[in-house]
Amino acid sequence: MPTALRPYVVAFDVNETIVSLEPVRDRLVAAGEPPGTLELFFARTLQHCFVLATLDQWRPFRDVARAALQQSTALSGDQIAHVLAAFAELPPQPDVEPAFERLHAAGIRIVALTHGPASTATAMLSRTGLDRYVEHVITGETVRSFKPARAPYLYACAVCGVEPARMALVAAHAWDCHGARTAGLSTGWVSRLEGAVSTLYVPADITGDTLADVAEGLLGLPD
């Protein structure tokens, strides 16, 4: 892999990187599901996204999530709709704003790169005041593909007008960093979700316990 360079733009994954999914867990538990249903449901959601991307097929993220809930639970249609509505209420992780502030102060542009609808992420950023740091919300829905296929990463670079080598992808998911690095981006992995990285993946250029640690590491990459 080419040497990672100091990015001009940092693209942050959204679900579990910027925002917590705990409100989804709360609604699942309130509906009678075990607490671990969240992990099963979201893993299946991502699995379906990966299969669709591999086969050059596409469905909106909300449809994929609904199918994963139907597969993982015995909830009624109304209950599933109630659980999915929690995606509009997700709170930011506590380490997000310090990372955004550090990058912004250093003159680095920030974008969000999501599987889901841009409107959902945009509303979250506006509700929490984080929109003052974020230049664009970019979704794979525009190119009808899901990360870790190359198309969403390269589309994000095109939107921002930078070469892949000058964009970094930051995520709590090692598979996302692997996909981005394969597409030519530099990468930062925050370890608070997964704790360890598969040896099958290209290691992230920067790793850290918090997003602020990752941001600091990206700023230290060579120009």
What would the pLDDT profile of 72-116 be if each residue is shown by its tens digit? Answer: 999 999 999 999 999 999 999 999 999 999 999 999 999 999 999
The answer to whether 136 and 122 have CB atoms below 8 angstroms apart is no
Q: Would you state the pLDDT for residue 1?
A: 78
Q: Are residues 175 and 98 in the same domain?
A: yes
The answer to whether 174 and 197 have CB atoms below 8 angstroms apart is yes
Q: Which amino acid is it at 78? A: D
φ/ψ of residue 167, rounded to 5: -120, 140
- Tell me whether residue 1 is in a domain: no
Tens-place pLDDT, residues 173-216: 999 999 999 999 999 999 999 999 999 999 999 999 999 999 99
d(CA 140, CA 149): 10
Domains: count for the chain: 2
Q: Are residues 69 and 133 in the same domain?
A: no
Cis peptide before 152 (omega within 30 of 0): no
Q: Would you state the pLDDT for residue 2?
A: 83
- Tell me whether residue 76 is in a domain: yes
d(CA 59, CA 219): 36
Grade residue 145 by pLDDT with cuts at 50, 70 and 90. Answer: very high
CA angle 44, 49, 50 (to 5 degrees): 95
- Model-level pTM? 0.96
Q: Are residues 143 and 37 in the same domain?
A: no
The answer to whether 128 and 136 have CB atoms below 8 angstroms apart is no
Domain end: 30, 64, 89, which one? 89
Q: Are residues 105 and 201 in the same domain?
A: yes
Q: Are residues 14 and 47 in the same domain?
A: no
Map tokens 């109304």 to a residue.
78
Q: Are residues 157 and 80 in the same domain?
A: no
Mean pLDDT of 27-56: 97
d(CA 41, CA 16): 14
Q: Which helix (H) or strand (E) holds 113?
A: strand 109-114
Report the chain's mean pLDDT, rounded to a whole number.
97
d(CA 153, CA 22): 27
- Tell me whether residue 4 is in a domain: no
Domain end: 72, 89, 106, which one? 89
Q: Would you state the pLDDT for residue 138?
A: 98
CATH number at residue 114: 3.40.50.1000
Q: Is 62 exposed, middle or buried (0-12, 13-18, 19+ CB in 10 A)?
A: middle
Q: In the chain, what percentage of residues exceed pLDDT 90?
A: 99
Q: Which helix (H) or strand (E) holds 125?
A: helix 118-128
Q: Are residues 153 and 196 in the same domain?
A: yes
Q: Are residues 96 and 56 in the same domain?
A: no
Q: In the chain, what percentage of residues exceed pLDDT 70?
A: 100
